[in-house]
Chain A
């Protein structure tokens, strides 16, 4: 599998972050974190090509679209890509719960680090609630997004005892 399909799916999500959804102020962190989550998932799904530099470029695009500091979301996607690349490939006996758990930890780290970085960037404590809310929402949305990416990966969802069935 080439990197085109994963990259296009994440690119779609990046553009979706910039579209005027009319979300309330507390929910502004959700969409960019979905982008980070997709990068993590693509890196964790076996037999998928998604190099870290591509993840960084897409993060940079998110920065440009959002008008925030250049490099912030690039850094977050890079962290997700690094961790995602090191997560053991899921097989039949290991369902999505393990990956979900890892994402929960990554989301916590990304949210905390992002909050600290943002506070350092602006030299003041920024409001932590939107970031925490975004991280929590991304954890809740994780199975849905992962299922969607698996569908993109294989073209369909196979019924089976586990979420994924066999990868190959």
Chain B
């Protein structure tokens, strides 16, 4: 009676040594071994994965084209639907930005004057290359993206990745033609940041949700909602002054809402910011002696790009372009990465 209603097949009792059962057991065991190897970060496993991702990159790139086009079409339809209210909002924003422009010019003059008084040295240029996201590698564990830039384009592990809105993440794997970007909201992402005008130090950590947590703030520190958060550069990996987001939440549970929309990335730029820390973890094929941020070998004459006064990154034709930004000081860097 019970067997009649059971959704499972009545199976004869078989020894675990039967070929089928043995194969099943072996497969489960293999999965467990792979998980352990992955956990300990075995180099062979990581290399094999990189190699395979490199091989499948053209296929993924081709498959992502119609999806990205579909997303753009959907976004365009949405913008048409809300066009009237959007125009009103943009007009109001434009009025506000005009005031900010005047104030920014004033501050720019002041800064230039103070720099000349101090004989301040300009920081080295930041070179970058731009590519597009070809795969959305996100799951229960990871918030990452594959981009169509790799070691052939000068990309190495640890480089900061930005888009038009701000910091997106950093490269954690780099194959010949593709690289994996660990997004800011990934569980494994930890970034030293400065919060607000006072520049309170903290760590922005991802927890796989849409917002980042603010950890290790100084005792008694209490940022305000809306305070800007930007990279401090104290990790020796990321440049200082890259825009991250704004503070949200309340005391005890401060969070950071990222400027970049991490769930729908299209075009991103990789900043070639070489530091001693980076050189020790992922040494370049040809050791580079000299200043930070050398131009990669395949880079030709640096094109002008991320400064506030220049055109934003082209959406379609900018794929795999290489350029150079002017010096990134804490204040200027923020303005530059806005592009």
| A-B complex is real | yes
A2-10, A124-132, A148-156 - the one binding chain B = A124-132
The answer to whether A74 and B52 have CB atoms under 8 Å apart is no
The answer to whether A74 and B139 have CB atoms under 8 Å apart is no
User: Per-position contact with B for A68-94: 1 when CB-CB < 8 Å, else 0?
Assistant: 111111110010001000111100000
Q: Which chain B residues lie closer than 8 Å to A67 at the CB level?
A: 137, 139, 142, 144, 146, 173, 180
User: Per-position contact with B for A17-28: 1 when CB-CB < 8 Å, else 0?
Assistant: 111111111001
B291 interface residue per 8 A CB criterion: no
User: Per-position contact with A for B135-150: 1 when CB-CB < 8 Å, else 0?
Assistant: 1111111111110000
A15 interface residue per 8 A CB criterion: yes
How many residues of chain A are within 8 Å of chain B by beta carbon? 51
With both chains docked as a complex, state the minimum distance between the C-beta of B165 and any C-beta of chain A, in angstroms: 15
Q: Which chain A residues lie closer than 8 Å to B67 at the CB level?
A: 19-21
Q: Which chain B residues lie closer than 8 Å to A56 at the CB level?
A: 27, 30-31
With both chains docked as a complex, state the minimum distance between the C-beta of A89 and any C-beta of chain B, in angstroms: 8
B5-13, B196-204, B214-222 - the one binding chain A = B5-13
Candidate in A18, A64, A72, A98 with the most chain B CB atoms within 10 angstroms: A18
Question: A18 with B140: in contact, given A56-B27, A60-B34, A69-B35 (CB under 8 Å)?
Answer: no
The answer to whether A29 and B140 have CB atoms under 8 Å apart is yes
- Pair count A-B, CB < 8 A: 161
With both chains docked as a complex, state the minimum distance between the C-beta of A9 and any C-beta of chain B, in angstroms: 15
With both chains docked as a complex, state the minimum distance between the C-beta of B56 and any C-beta of chain A, in angstroms: 8
Residue of A whose beta carbon sits closest to that of B261: A22
Q: Which chain B residues lie closer than 8 Å to A124 at the CB level?
A: 187
How many residues of chain B are within 8 Å of chain A by beta carbon? 58
Q: Which chain A residues lie closer than 8 Å to B139 at the CB level?
A: 17, 28-29, 32, 66-68, 73
Segment 96-154 of B: residues with Cβ below 8 Å from A: 133-146
A165 interface residue per 8 A CB criterion: no
Q: Which chain B residues lie closer than 8 Å to A71 at the CB level?
A: 30-35, 38
Q: Which chain B residues lie closer than 8 Å to A121 at the CB level?
A: 35, 39, 141
Question: A18 with B137: in contact, given A70-B34, A70-B37, A75-B31 (CB under 8 Å)?
Answer: yes
Residue of B whose beta carbon sits closest to that of A59: B31
A52 interface residue per 8 A CB criterion: yes
- In Å, the complex CA distance between A10 and B136 comes to 18
- In Å, the complex CA distance between A64 and B7 comes to 34
The answer to whether A126 and B187 have CB atoms under 8 Å apart is yes
The answer to whether B145 and A53 have CB atoms under 8 Å apart is no
Question: A66 with B142: in contact, given A19-B63, A72-B35 (CB under 8 Å)?
Answer: yes
Q: Which chain A residues lie closer than 8 Å to B9 at the CB level?
A: 86-89
- In Å, the complex CA distance between A67 and B53 comes to 9
Candidate in B60, B133, B139 with the most chain A CB atoms within 10 angstroms: B139
With both chains docked as a complex, state the minimum distance between the C-beta of B79 and any C-beta of chain A, in angstroms: 15
A49 interface residue per 8 A CB criterion: no
The answer to whether A52 and B27 have CB atoms under 8 Å apart is yes
Q: Which chain B residues lie closer than 8 Å to A101 at the CB level?
A: 7
B205-213, B248-256, B318-326 - the one binding chain A = B205-213
Q: Which chain A residues lie closer than 8 Å to B38 at the CB level?
A: 69-71
Question: A65 with B137: in contact, given A75-B31, A88-B6 (CB under 8 Å)?
Answer: yes
The answer to whether B142 and A68 have CB atoms under 8 Å apart is yes
A114 interface residue per 8 A CB criterion: yes
Question: A70 with B35: in contact, given A64-B49, A126-B187 (CB under 8 Å)?
Answer: yes
B28 interface residue per 8 A CB criterion: yes
User: Per-position contact with A for B45-58: 1 when CB-CB < 8 Å, else 0?
Assistant: 10001001100100
Question: A118 with B140: in contact, given A20-B64, A22-B263, A24-B263 (CB under 8 Å)?
Answer: yes
Q: Which chain B residues lie closer than 8 Å to A126 at the CB level?
A: 140-141, 187, 208
| 27 pairs from A and B in contact (CB 8 Å cutoff) | A18-B60, A18-B63, A19-B63, A19-B67, A20-B145, A20-B266, A25-B208, A25-B210, A28-B140, A32-B139, A52-B27, A64-B53, A65-B135, A67-B139, A69-B35, A69-B38, A69-B39, A71-B30, A71-B32, A71-B34, A74-B31, A86-B11, A87-B7, A118-B140, A121-B39, A124-B187, A126-B141
Where the two chains meet, the residues of B that have a C-beta atom closer than 8 Å to any C-beta of A are 6-9, 11, 23-24, 27-28, 30-35, 37-39, 45, 49, 52-53, 56, 59-60, 63-64, 67-68, 71, 133-146, 173, 180, 185, 187-188, 207-210, 262-266
Q: A28-B139, A65-B60, A130-B208 are in contact. List 16 more A-B contacts (CB 8 A).
A: A15-B63, A19-B135, A20-B264, A21-B67, A25-B263, A32-B140, A64-B49, A68-B141, A70-B35, A72-B141, A75-B28, A86-B8, A87-B7, A87-B8, A114-B140, A126-B141
